[in-house]
Amino acid sequence: MKKNRVQIPIGPIHPALKEPIQIEVELKGEHVENVSITLGHVHRGIEWIGLRRNPVQTLALAERVCGICNIVHPLAFCTAIENAANIKVPERAEYLRVIYAELERIHSHLLFLGVAAHELGFDSILHYTWLVREKVLDVIEYLTGNRITKAILMIGGVRRDITEKQMPKVREALEYYEKVYKKLCDVFLDDPTINARTRDIGVLTKKQALQLCAVGPTARASGIKKDIRQDFPYAAYADLDVEAITPDVLLNEIRGDTFDRVVVRVLEIKQSLELIDRCLKEMPDGPILYEPMLQRLLVQLRQVAGEGVALVEAPRGELIHYIRMEKSEAPLAWKIRAPTYANLSSIVPMLEGCELADVPIVVASIDPCIACANRAIIADKNAVLDQEKLHALSVNKTRALLKGGSK
Amino acid sequence: MGLGAFKRSLWVFHLNTGSCNGCDIEIIAALTPRYDVERFGIKLVGSPRHADVLLITGPVTRMMKDRLLRVYNQTPDPKVVVVVGNCGATGGVFYESYNLEGPVDRLIPVDIYVPGCPPRPEAIIDAIAKAWAKLEAMEAKK
Which domains does chain A show, CATH number per domain? 46-338 (1.10.645.10)
**Mutation target among B16, B21, B66 for the A interface, most CBs of A within 10 A:** B21
The whole-number average pLDDT for the span A209-227 is 92
- Chain B neighbors of A66, CB-CB under 8 A: 20-21
Quote the minimal CA–CA distance from B50 to chain A in Å: 13
Residue A20 forms contact with B (CB below 8 Å): yes
Closest residue on chain A to B32 (Cα): A127
Instruction: Out of A43, A68, A147, name the one closest to residue B21 (CB).
Output: A68
- A31-38: strand order across its sheet: A5-10, A22-28, A31-38
- Cross-chain residue pair B67–A148, CB shorter than 8 Å: no
Contacts (Cβ under 8 Å, ≥6 apart) of A65: A46, A73, A336, A338, A371, A372, B20
Residue A15 forms contact with B (CB below 8 Å): yes
Condensed to tens digits (0 to 9), the pLDDT of residues A58-68 reads 999 999 998 89
The CA distance from A1 to B80, in Å, is 42
- Cross-chain residue pair A49–B94, CB shorter than 8 Å: yes
Indicate if the pLDDT at residue A405 is higher than 60.
no
Residue A291: C-alpha distances to residues A57, A101, A216, A298, A407 (Å): 16, 22, 33, 10, 29
Indicate if the pLDDT at residue B141 is higher than 90.
no
Residue A407 forms contact with B (CB below 8 Å): no
Q: What mean pLDDT, rounded, does chain A reach?
A: 89
Closest residue on chain B to A15 (Cα): B46
CB distance B84 to A31 below 8 Å: no
Domain coordinates in residue numbering, chain B: 11-128
Quote the minimal CA–CA distance from B98 to chain A in Å: 7
Residue A20 confidence class, pLDDT cut points 50, 70, 90: confident
* C-beta neighbour count of A162 within 10 angstroms: 22
CB distance A203 to A350 below 8 Å: yes
Indicate if the pLDDT at residue B1 is higher than 70.
no
Instruction: Out of A41, A48, A70, name the one closest to residue B18 (CB).
Output: A41
A to B CB pairs, distance under 8 Å: 112
The confidence score (pLDDT) of residue A300 equals 92
The whole-number average pLDDT for the span B24-51 is 90
Residue B114 confidence class, pLDDT cut points 50, 70, 90: very high
- Cross-chain residue pair A66–B21, CB shorter than 8 Å: yes
The confidence score (pLDDT) of residue A166 equals 92
Written as one letter, the residue type at B20 is: C
DSSP B89-116: HH-GGGTT-TTB---GGGTS---EEE-S
Condensed to tens digits (0 to 9), the pLDDT of residues A101-118 reads 999 999 999 999 999 999
Instruction: Out of A42, A49, A147, name the one closest to residue B18 (CB).
Output: A42
Instruction: Out of A60, A127, A148, name the one closest to residue B32 (CB).
Output: A127
Tell me phi and psi for residue B59, to 5 degrees.
-90, 10
- Cross-chain residue pair B67–A20, CB shorter than 8 Å: yes
- Chain A neighbors of B33, CB-CB under 8 A: 127, 130-131
Residue A1 confidence class, pLDDT cut points 50, 70, 90: low
The confidence score (pLDDT) of residue A406 equals 47
Contacts (Cβ under 8 Å, ≥6 apart) of B97: A44, A45, A46, A48, A49, B59, B91
Please give the share of chain A, as a percent, with pLDDT higher than 90.
55
The CA distance from A387 to A362, in Å, is 28
Handedness of CA B28, B30, B36, B42 (dihedral sign): negative
- Chain A neighbors of B58, CB-CB under 8 A: 42
**DSSP β-ladder status, A317-326 and A333-337:** antiparallel
Closest residue on chain B to A16 (Cα): B46
The whole-number average pLDDT for the span A43-47 is 90
The CA distance from B29 to A50, in Å, is 30
The whole-number average pLDDT for the span A281-303 is 91
Quote the minimal CA–CA distance from B16 to chain A in Å: 6
The whole-number average pLDDT for the span A318-339 is 91
Residue A407 confidence class, pLDDT cut points 50, 70, 90: very low
The whole-number average pLDDT for the span A306-321 is 92
**Mutation target among B12, B24, B25, B37 for the A interface, most CBs of A within 10 A:** B25
**Mutation target among B63, B96, B101 for the A interface, most CBs of A within 10 A:** B63
**Mutation target among B11, B16, B17, B20 for the A interface, most CBs of A within 10 A:** B20
The confidence score (pLDDT) of residue A279 equals 92
The confidence score (pLDDT) of residue B4 equals 65
Residue A76 confidence class, pLDDT cut points 50, 70, 90: very high
Topology given in CATH for the domain delimited by B11-128: Rossmann fold (3.40.50)
